[in-house]
């Protein structure tokens, strides 16, 4: 009797940010077991890295999937906060393969949402998913805010679409917030969630608040601001309160815009690093504070994802 011993087929998945690339081999619908992090600041470097991974793969390759921050337009992504540009056709030719997917990094994270274990989710407030409605993913990074939408699909489960809602205008809900936005506008001109909710934006909000207090000072980094909050310093504490409120408001806006009553998933190593200084109560309150739509918002779930690197898992689903 001859027993077939077919080798496991893999997807080669990569998450690229303009400086580093996270690379792994994954079975479809599963996260890669081993993930390598390598320097990668150009398309040429990425092709070289992926070529080595293909040559060393222990089994057949179903295809290659790459995620990067920025809109995917006509098979190309110009990274939002880096000079790097990726072109799917050029990468496929350089690798000598036919199946290559190039997607927005938050599209990849959104694709992972249906596969996340319950233990990977912290519920912020009440609510349960409405499975016939879309879900949303939002993720402040150090330099910007990613966003993507999951739409229910009766044939395959879910389909993901990239969004650039992080660049929408940031609104003020109080005179204090308006004063901070005014100072940020003096610096940036256009003030968006992308400018305020990211790691750099957190420091800019602290600078604005200290300026309003008459002693302008921008913290050196988030760790310094967290340390100041631990010491109960007023500017640091108010900074986290304001950013928590704005994050809740932006998440709530996403629900209203796309009808994301299956929930909003905050997928962010940056936000996780704030620990207890992410004010969950303020975040949820502003999430629901939508005037006559407050009742609509009350039973929409809001989650903080404890696995911010789930993009590679999402990429693996492209070859299911």
Model confidence over 142-151: pLDDT tens digits? Answer: 888 988 899 9
Give the pLDDT of residue 236. Answer: 98
Q: Are residues 173 and 95 in the same domain?
A: no
Cβ–Cβ < 8 Å for 71, 104: yes
Count of structural domains, the chain: 2
Co-location of 108 and 180 in the same domain = no
Give the CATH number for residue 250. Answer: 3.40.367.20
Q: Are residues 67 and 185 in the same domain?
A: no
Report the predicted TM-score, pTM, of the whole model to 2 decimal places.
Answer: 0.86
> CA neighbours within 13 Å on the CB side: how many for 176?
12
Same domain, residue pair 252 and 289: yes
Angle at 43 between CA 41 and CA 46, to 5 degrees: 75
Percent of the chain with pLDDT over 70: 97
What is the per-residue pLDDT for 1? 40
pLDDT in tens, 222-263: 999 999 999 999 999 999 999 999 999 999 999 999 999 999
Q: Are residues 97 and 184 in the same domain?
A: no
Is the model's pLDDT at 279 over the cut of 70?
Answer: yes
Query: Region 54-79: what's the mean pLDDT?
Result: 94
In a domain, 207, yes or no: yes
Do 171 and 287 sit in the same domain of this protein? Answer: yes
Distance of CA 226 to the CA centre of its chain: 22
Distances (CA, A) of 54 to 13, 57, 105, 161, 217: 11, 5, 22, 28, 49
pLDDT at 4: 42
Residues 100 and 212 in one domain: no
Query: What value does the mean pLDDT of the chain take?
Result: 93
Say if 150 falls within a structural domain: no
- Residue 158's CB is within 10 A of a number of other CB atoms, namely 17
Minimal CA–CA distance to 138: which of 19, 275, 257? 257
Tell me, yes or no, whether 279 and 314 share the same domain.
Answer: no
| Average pLDDT rounded to a whole number, residues 213-229 | 97
Has residue 278 been placed in a domain? yes
pLDDT attached to residue 107: 86
- CB atoms under 10 Å from CB of 50, counted, come to 22
The answer to whether residues 292 and 314 belong to one domain is no
Structural domain contains residue 175? yes
Closest by CA to 246, choosing from 190, 193, 305, is 193
Indicate the range of 17-21, 23-27, 158-162, 177-181 predicted with least confidence.
Answer: 158-162
Q: Is residue 217 part of a domain?
A: yes
For 116, the token pair is 């996340």
Q: Give the CATH number for residue 106.
A: 3.30.420.40
What average pLDDT does this structure show over 175-184? 98
Per-residue pLDDT for 141 more than 60? yes
> For the residues 8-29, what does the mean pLDDT come to?
94
Q: Do 59 and 180 belong to one domain? A: no
- Residue 2's pLDDT is 44
Tell me the residue range of the domain where 103 lies.
Answer: 10-112+310-319
Question: Is residue 228 one of the residues assigned to a domain?
Answer: yes
Share of the chain above pLDDT 90, in %: 79
Does 39 have pLDDT greater than 60? yes
Residue 156 has a pLDDT of: 54
**Same-domain status, 15 and 69:** yes
117 located within any domain = no
What pLDDT was estimated at residue 281? 98
User: Which tens digits make up the pLDDT trace of 153-162?
Assistant: 865 578 888 8
65 and 191 housed in the same domain: no
User: Looking at the domain assignment, is residue 247 inside a domain?
Assistant: yes
∠ CA 77-113-168, nearest 5°, is 50
């Amino acid at each position: 009797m001859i027993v077939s011993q077919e080798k496991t087929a893999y997807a080669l998945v990569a998450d690229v940010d303009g400086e580093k690339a996270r690379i792994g081999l994954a079975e479809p619908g599963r996260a890669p077991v081993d993930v390598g992090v390598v320097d990668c600041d150009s398309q040429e470097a990425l092709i070289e890295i992926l070529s080595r991974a293909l040559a060393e793969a222990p089994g057949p390759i179903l295809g290659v999937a790459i995620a990067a921050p920025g809109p995917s337009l006509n098979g190309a992504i110009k990274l939002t906060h880096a000079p790097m540009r990726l072109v799917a056709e050029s990468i496929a030719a350089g690798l000598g393969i036919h199946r290559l997917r190039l997607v927005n990094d938050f599209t990849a994270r959104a694709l992972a949402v249906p596969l996340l274990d319950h233990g990977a989710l912290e519920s912020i407030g009440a609510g349960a998913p409405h499975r016939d409605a879309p879900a949303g993913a939002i993720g402040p990074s150090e330099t910007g805010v990613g966003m993507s939408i999951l739409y229910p699909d009766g044939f395959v489960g879910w389909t993901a679409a990239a969004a650039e809602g992080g660049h929408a205008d940031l609104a003020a809900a109080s005179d204090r917030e308006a004063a901070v936005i005014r100072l940020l506008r003096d610096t940036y001109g256009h003030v968006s969630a992308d400018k305020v909710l990211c790691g750099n934006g957190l420091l800019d909000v602290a600078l604005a608040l200290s300026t309003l207090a008459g002693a302008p000072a921008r913290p050196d980094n988030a760790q310094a601001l967290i340390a100041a909050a631990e010491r109960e310093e007023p500017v640091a504490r108010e900074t986290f309160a304001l950013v928590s409120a704005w994050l809740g408001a932006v998440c709530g806006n996403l629900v209203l815009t796309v009808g994301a009553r299956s929930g909003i998933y905050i997928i962010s190593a940056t936000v996780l690093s704030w620990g207890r200084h992410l004010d969950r109560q303020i975040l949820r309150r502003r999430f629901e504070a939508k005037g006559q739509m407050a009742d609509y918002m009350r039973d929409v779930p809001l989650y903080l994802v404890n696995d911010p690197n789930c993009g590679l898992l999402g990429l693996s689903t492209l070859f299911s």
